[in-house]
Amino acid sequence: MPKEIEIQIRFNDLDGYGHVNNSVYLSYCEIARTNCYADIFNDSIEKKIWFILTSAEIKYKKFLKLEDKAFVRVWLSSAKGVLFSFEYLIHDGNGTIYATAKTTHAVYDAVKHKPIRVPKVILDGVETVE
């Protein structure tokens, strides 16, 4: 199920043109991911299971400015083998889309030092398994 948070755009997010710097969009995705799926991430740290970012893709649609409203909708979109993905929609809440993004993560057992299959708690939250 998609989850959503509002992002507070800060002055230091801006580039020299007064737009949110393109690298900051990934930070917004990370904030949404960790806030919306804290239950998954917090439990994994105790169990020494890491979720390692393996790829990130962003498609920029429209630039963000300091005065803009910004929300990030995030959902688990796929899981297969040792990998799972989140997708993101960065928008203003009124139909304007600033960017779409996707991150893929590998599940890693930090005790055994090897990748492991995606845990059931993640599979249960997937919108569409590829």
128 in any annotated domain: no
pLDDT at 122: 84
Is residue 19 scored above 90 in pLDDT? yes
Q: What is the pLDDT of residues 31-44, one digit of tens each?
A: 999 998 887 777 78
Residue 113 reports pLDDT greater than 50: yes
The contacts of residue 58 (CB under 8 Å, 6+ apart) are 22, 25, 26, 29, 99, 100, 101
The CATH number of the domain holding residue 91 is 3.10.129.10
Number of domains in the chain: 1
Residue at 56 is within a domain: yes
pTM (global) more than 0.95: no
Please indicate, yes or no, if residue 94 is contained in any of the structural domains.
yes
Note whether 32 and 86 are within 8 A (CB): no
